[in-house]
Chain A
Amino acid sequence: MSFRVQTASTANNLTRPLNRRMSIVDSERWLGPFLIGPAILYIVLLIGIPFFMALYYSVSNTTTGGGTLGFVGLRNFSNIIDTPKFQTALKNTFIFALFSQVVILLLSNALALALQKDFRGKGLLRFLMLLPWVAPISIGTIAWLWIFDSTYSVLNWTLRMLGLIQGQGFMWLGLPHLAMGSIIAVHVWRQLPLATVILLAGHSSIPKDIHDAAAVDGAGFWRHFFQVTLPLILPISLVALLFGLIFTFTDMVIIYNLTRGGPYDTTQVLASLAFYTGIAGGDLAEGAAIALFLFPLLLAVAYGFLRIAHRTEIT
């Protein structure tokens, strides 16, 4: 089969001349902005602009009544800073975030480790574990409302049955410290699945050879975990932690549905306080001011993590 295929001289036996000009669909320089433009525009319109509006509201005297938009300087901020309600909310924001993240850190690592080996029913287990995260936040919280119910709480019933308490049992949502604990528990419940799944992904990205090498080198369980595994999953754990912190700092859904900020405003956080003041209370300006306290917090968190993540990424 030796023949000479007609090539160069008859290369254009095509039915239509090709579009030869470089148009926007070819240009590397312009296609990118063209494709990403709409998304960026949308984000600027619906996040950027409202953000600056919030900034302005906080230094104005706007209300939901649609009233004036007059500039009042930092009066809103000075008004609220001294109130015990605000200070409790500020304190709670940190406490809830810190405690819940620490617990999540421990539990998610334990769970991720426990899930390393395959076993029968692992798929089912994983599905069950994902439920808290996929269910709408408010829905899951209502379920806990029922579990924590002062009269009918299944928790109290179980503790009674086990002989650990007498009488009616705990008012999970009625006493300040118990209420705070309950809220932290629901935060943990909600975020544990995502944190675990992210950690699992981190674990699976470690080449098996490294574990084998550590075994040959004689590392025991704890040394293996702390000196070999943990450093390698650190970058992705930090990402998980970052998401978790952002969520805990800014969440008001759990508090709104579980305690309404009670008992007596002892479980308010900045986000829920902003909601009650701004929307329920109608004082948009003060609500905006409260909510704005969140922003530097988040910025600091994000900055800190980007720095650390950058450094640990040098592998």
Chain B
Amino acid sequence: MATVETRGVKKHYGAVVAVNGVDLLTRDGEFLVLLGPSGCGKTTLLRMIAGFETPTAGELLIGGERVNDLPPRARKIAMVFQSYALYPHMTVFKNIAFPLKAQRMDKASIPKKVEWAASLFGIGHLMERKPRELSGGERQRVALARALVREPAVFLLDEPLSNLDAQLRASARDELQQFQRRIGTTTIYVTHDQVEAMGLGDRIVVMKAGTVRQIGTPQEIYHEPADAFVARFVGSPPMNLLQHQNYLLGFRPEHFLPRGTQNGKGKVSTFSFRVTRVEYLGADRLLYGLLNGAFADQKVIARLPSTVTVNIQPETNYDFTVEDKELKFFDASTELRISARPL
């Protein structure tokens, strides 16, 4: 079984704690995303799983077997790096053949394997080129082919899309996901981009400051965040969080709508909202402003879909509502999610 498990894994660099006790168990064949801001420890965790860093404490298991003492080449993993790390002095063919040669596969079988991997990504026509002659998208495919050719138990990907320009990123994301579904290998993917995480992951591990804040499907992370950090990190524009006494009240901009325009029939809470700025984005309108009343002078953002055609003027007060079931409450000091409070 090719699951990856970490038990109480920690990593210290002298006084600096990069990873502070992470327990993870992937499911066989799933696409697991490690998400978090820079410095949260996600890349360090990935590198420990790969074998480039030794854990200060804890156990790493791949396929049920303890790998703490194994070098990278013995862990049955494949890795795609942020820069793709293609061997610049070798042709595409040699790049893909390299792992097979390293593992002493007999010379006769190598070309067939390379062609098979190349054909999966449609790069058969690029075999004789050198990496510097390839575009960003082509390089990614070569990196993936090289990773696949050994048929590893686990794929590790370290922000492979961040070097592509924006247009390319969406199509590359699509290709990646299709590819992973097809081969069904357990994949661990590191990113700081929450849109990428939501789009690709079967489950997402949200990390901050070396610890795991929440593990869940994209739906769970988005609709039931475990703490205020997760709530703010995922979603764009971020969730509105208001201070009130000893708790925080949160609701997402798309649930903050003018009175009478809510879709659902449930109970709503009303807020007095003074709009200061309107951004017209085509599909949506973003309204920036401040609340009056109990939450006076706290900044909030509302996102109106184009289907809501209410005329909104800046420097005007409006009554906006949020469905009660979309209100999330967090403890003000621990930032953990708590049950509903009266307003």
A and B touch in the complex (CB under 8 A): yes
Q: Taking beta carbons and an 8 Å cutoff, which residues of A are in contact with B?
A: 1-8, 10-16, 18-22, 26
Interface residues in B62-82 (C-beta closer than 8 Å to A)? 63, 69-71, 73-74, 76
- Let me know if B128 is at the binding interface, CB within 8 A: no
- Are A2 and B183 within 8 A (Cβ)? no
- Are B183 and A4 within 8 A (Cβ)? yes
12 A-B pairs whose Cβ atoms sit less than 8 Å apart in the complex: A5-B182, A5-B183, A5-B185, A7-B2, A7-B183, A8-B153, A11-B76, A14-B103, A15-B104, A18-B74, A20-B70, A22-B70
- Let me know if B111 is at the binding interface, CB within 8 A: no
Q: How far is the CB of A85 from chain B (nearest CB, A)?
A: 55
- Are A14 and B185 within 8 A (Cβ)? no
Expressed in whole angstroms, the Cα–Cα distance for A183 and B152 within the complex equals 69
Expressed in whole angstroms, the Cα–Cα distance for A15 and B71 within the complex equals 19
> A8, A15, A26: which contacts B2 (Cβ < 8 A)?
A8
Q: Which residues of B contact A19 (CB under 8 A)?
A: 74
Expressed in whole angstroms, the Cα–Cα distance for A8 and B29 within the complex equals 9
- Are B103 and A13 within 8 A (Cβ)? no
Q: How far is the CB of B336 from chain A (nearest CB, A)?
A: 37
Q: How far is the CB of A16 from chain B (nearest CB, A)?
A: 5
Q: Which residues of B contact A3 (CB under 8 A)?
A: 182
- Are B69 and A16 within 8 A (Cβ)? no
Q: Which residues of A contact B28 (CB under 8 A)?
A: 8
Q: Which residues of B contact A1 (CB under 8 A)?
A: 120, 182
- Let me know if B296 is at the binding interface, CB within 8 A: no
A3-B182, A13-B151 given; name 11 further pairs at CB < 8 Å: A1-B182, A5-B148, A5-B185, A7-B185, A8-B28, A8-B63, A8-B186, A10-B151, A11-B153, A14-B105, A26-B71
Expressed in whole angstroms, the Cα–Cα distance for A22 and B148 within the complex equals 25
Which residue of chain B is the closest to A17 with respect to CB atoms?
B74
Question: How many A-B pairs with Cβ below 8 Å?
Answer: 57
Q: How far is the CB of B108 from chain A (nearest CB, A)?
A: 11
Q: How far is the CB of A24 from chain B (nearest CB, A)?
A: 11
Expressed in whole angstroms, the Cα–Cα distance for A13 and B151 within the complex equals 9
- Are B1 and A8 within 8 A (Cβ)? yes
Q: How far is the CB of B28 from chain A (nearest CB, A)?
A: 7
Q: Which residues of A contact B2 (CB under 8 A)?
A: 7-8, 11
Expressed in whole angstroms, the Cα–Cα distance for A12 and B76 within the complex equals 8
Interface of A, secondary structure class, is loop
User: With A15-B106, A18-B103 known to touch, is A4 a contact of B74 (CB < 8 Å)?
Assistant: no
Interface residues contributed by chain B, number (CB under 8 Å): 24
> B105, B151, B182: which contacts A15 (Cβ < 8 A)?
B105
Which residue of chain B is the closest to A5 with respect to CB atoms?
B183
Q: Taking beta carbons and an 8 Å cutoff, which residues of B are in contact with A?
A: 1-2, 28, 63, 69-71, 73-74, 76, 103-106, 120, 148, 151-153, 182-186
Q: Which residues of A contact B152 (CB under 8 A)?
A: 7, 11
Q: Which residues of B contact A12 (CB under 8 A)?
A: 76
Expressed in whole angstroms, the Cα–Cα distance for A1 and B179 within the complex equals 11
Which residue of chain A is the closest to B28 with respect to CB atoms?
A8
Q: How far is the CB of B153 from chain A (nearest CB, A)?
A: 5
Which residue of chain B is the closest to A23 with respect to CB atoms?
B71
Expressed in whole angstroms, the Cα–Cα distance for A16 and B70 within the complex equals 17
Q: Considering the complex of A and B, which 5 residue pairs feature the smallest CB-CB distances, nearest first? A: A8-B2, A26-B71, A5-B183, A20-B74, A8-B153
User: With A13-B151, A19-B74 known to touch, is A4 a contact of B182 (CB < 8 Å)?
Assistant: yes
Expressed in whole angstroms, the Cα–Cα distance for A10 and B28 within the complex equals 14
User: With A18-B73, A20-B74, A22-B69 known to touch, is A7 a contact of B151 (CB < 8 Å)?
Assistant: yes
Which residue of chain A is the closest to B100 with respect to CB atoms?
A14
Q: Which residues of B contact A21 (CB under 8 A)?
A: 69
Q: How far is the CB of B16 from chain A (nearest CB, A)?
A: 18
Q: How far is the CB of A26 from chain B (nearest CB, A)?
A: 4
Q: How far is the CB of A125 from chain B (nearest CB, A)?
A: 31
Q: Which residues of B contact A10 (CB under 8 A)?
A: 151
Q: How far is the CB of A262 from chain B (nearest CB, A)?
A: 56
Q: Which residues of B contact A5 (CB under 8 A)?
A: 148, 151, 182-185
User: With A14-B105, A15-B105 known to touch, is A7 a contact of B74 (CB < 8 Å)?
Assistant: no
Best-surrounded residue of B74, B105, B148 (most CB of chain A within 10 A) = B74
Q: Which residues of A contact B73 (CB under 8 A)?
A: 18
Which residue of chain B is the closest to A2 with respect to CB atoms?
B182
Q: Which residues of A contact B153 (CB under 8 A)?
A: 7-8, 11
Expressed in whole angstroms, the Cα–Cα distance for A8 and B76 within the complex equals 9
Q: Which residues of A contact B106 (CB under 8 A)?
A: 15
Q: How far is the CB of A20 from chain B (nearest CB, A)?
A: 4
Q: Which residues of B contact A2 (CB under 8 A)?
A: 182
Q: How far is the CB of A19 from chain B (nearest CB, A)?
A: 7
> B74, B104, B182: which contacts A16 (Cβ < 8 A)?
B104
Q: Which residues of A contact B120 (CB under 8 A)?
A: 1
Q: How far is the CB of B178 from chain A (nearest CB, A)?
A: 9
Best-surrounded residue of A6, A13, A14 (most CB of chain B within 10 A) = A14
Which residue of chain B is the closest to A16 with respect to CB atoms?
B104
Q: Which residues of A contact B182 (CB under 8 A)?
A: 1-5
